[in-house]
Structure 1
Amino acid sequence: MDNLDIKLIELLQKNSRMTISTLSKELSLSRPSITERILRLQEKNIIEEFTARISLKNIGKNIILFVQLSSLKVSPKTFEQMVKKDGDILECHRVTGPINYFIKAAVNNMDDMSLLIDRLLPYGDINTSVVLKSPVSYRHVIPKNTNIK
């Protein structure tokens, strides 16, 4: 990966709908060269997908919460199958230490938060924190190491 790949990644993270022509102009490269670079970055799984970021607030998901689950009462496989199906759960991470999982969820209101907690309770001990403010809610990741192969 070189500096042009890094700049390409930066541009695509800002707007994944940028056309090949626009990217070509921004980077002063030919359209075929841009296309080739994007394909190579996809083949190496550096670019995993092209997607849209949705405003949780604007779709009614007004409460973001983090749930710590410890003392897991079922197998990790059973728990992970359940969380993959739950539409309120945005992220779930199995971690080391006394906590088994960190879960990020978004719900419409306090009643929905209570229902989510009720769904999680059979799986272990729950500690829930409601997000008051997110000074960094999302960050673009720009590779610093140009020696990635």
Structure 2
Amino acid sequence: MDQIDICLLKLLQENARMTISELSKQLSLSRPSITERLNRLQEQGIIDGFSARICPKKIGRDVVVYIQLSEIKILSYIDFEEWIKNDPDIVECHRLTGAVSYLLKAAVTGMDHLSSLIDRLTPYGNVNTSIVLSSPVSFRCITPHSALQE
């Protein structure tokens, strides 16, 4: 990965809807060159996909919460992970090392909705919630570590 690839990744993370023509102008490369680089980055799994970032509050999910699940009471992590993948309130799920087994991020409509989610999670382990008050950094572009040192 060279500096142009890193710039391409930054541009796409800032605006994944940029056209090949716009990327071509920004990076002073031909459209076929940009297309080739994009294809290579996707084939290598560096670009994992393209999506839109949605503001939870704008779609009625006024409460964003992080949930720590510890002292797991399940027989199979695989079964739990399959169950959690199908819960529409969970927007992220991470299996962790240490005292906390899972860190979940959820977006719910209010306290009643949160209470229902907690009730659904309680059979699986101890639940500890933290409600998000604000997000001074809700998204940040990431690049290879070497790019940060230059």
- TM class, shorter-chain normalised? over 0.9
Q: What CA distance in whole angstroms lies between the structure 2 residues aligned with 1:129 and 1:144?
A: 30
Q: How many residues align?
A: 146
1:5 aligns with 2:38: no
Aligned-partner Cα distance in 2 for 1:145–1:41: 17
- Scaled by the length of structure 1, the TM-score of the pair is 0.94
Matched to 1:28, the amino acid is S
Q: Give the match for residue 145 of structure 1.
A: 146
Mapped to 1, the partners of 2:99 and 2:15 lie a distance apart of 39
**Offset, 1:50:** 1.0
Structure 1 residue 142: Cα displacement? 2.2
Partners of 2:98 and 2:15 lie apart in 1 by: 37
User: In 1, Cα distance between the equivalents of 2:145 and 2:6?
Assistant: 8
CA distance in 1, matches of 2:19, 2:96: 39
In 2: Cα distance, 1:115 partner to 1:42 partner: 39
User: Amino acid of the residue matched to residue 55 of structure 2?
Assistant: S
CA distance in 1, matches of 2:17, 2:139: 18
Q: Quick one: which amino acid aligns to residue 29 of structure 1?
A: L
Distance 2:73 2:97 in 1: 16
Q: Report the residue type matching 2:71 in the other structure.
A: S
Q: CA deviation at 1:135?
A: 1.1
Q: Does 1:60 align with 2:60?
A: yes
Aligned twin of 2:110:
109
Secondary structure in 1 aligned to 2:53? coil
Unaligned residue ranges in structure 2 (runs of 5+) = none
Structure 1 spans left out of the alignment, 5+ residues: none
The runs of at least 4 consecutive aligned structure 1 residues that moved more than 4 Å come to: none
Quick check: 1:48 aligned with 2:48?
yes
SS of residue matched to 1:142:
coil
Matches within 5 A, 1:95-134: 95-134=96-135
Deviation, structure 1 residue 14: 1.0
Partners of 2:17 and 2:109 in 1: CA distance: 29
